[in-house]
Amino acid sequence: MGSNSKVHQRLMMTIISLIEECSDLPDLLGIDNDLLHRLRKLDAYGQKIIASKASTFLFAGINNGELQKQINSLADQLYEKELEDEYLMRQAPYKLMQELFGMHTVEFCQRRKLLGLFRQGQHRPSYCDEETESLILQHWRETKRLNMKLRYLMIAKKINQPINSIWAVAKKHM
């Protein structure tokens, strides 16, 4: 029995076991009512025999292009989530998270709690001294070509200031 045959056999056994759990499965696979009735009547031995012959009637494959597209999309989603987490860790205010990421209040609170930030303030803008404000504005001008998500984060990292301070300064001068 080749490996292709083993794959088909395992797929068929999985299909047989899922038929009872997923009422839509027979329709999705194109199994008519008569065939479904006959499959359901098979005992364990009959199921094993049918599964051993699955390579003759079961076709399996993966659309590599679509799989790649889905993996890329997932990678983008994970990157976005990591970016959101970094913003939250750097004290981004809710209004900015809503503006940049479309985050809702409940998600904002839940994510902060998951990150262990629930005991901190709500990241309201913290105002800084004139020297820090001047430094923020200088970096704000230098990063005008970056998209906003990267801009705030890059400035926060570069001058080691919380994002809520940068947001307050940027908002004040826009």
Mean pLDDT over each residue of the chain, to the nearest integer? 91
Calculate mean pLDDT across residues 27-42.
92
pLDDT of residue 102: 96
On whether the pTM is more than 0.85, the answer is no
Taken in order 112, 115, 119, 123, the sign of the CA dihedral is negative
CB atoms within 10 A of CB 73: 10
What value does the CA radius of gyration of the chain take, rounded to a whole number of Å?
Answer: 28
pLDDT band at 174 (very low <50, low <70, confident <90, very high): confident
Instruction: Decide if pLDDT at 57 tops 80.
Output: yes
Q: Tell me: the pLDDT tens digits for 101-120? A: 999 999 999 999 999 987 66
pLDDT of residue 3: 60
Question: Tokens 């997932």 belong to which residue?
Answer: 74
DSSP state of 10: H
Q: Are 112 and 138 in contact (CB under 8 A)?
A: no
pLDDT of residue 61: 85
pLDDT of residue 126: 65
On the CB side of 87, how many CA atoms lie within 13 Å of its CA? 26
pLDDT band at 125 (very low <50, low <70, confident <90, very high): low
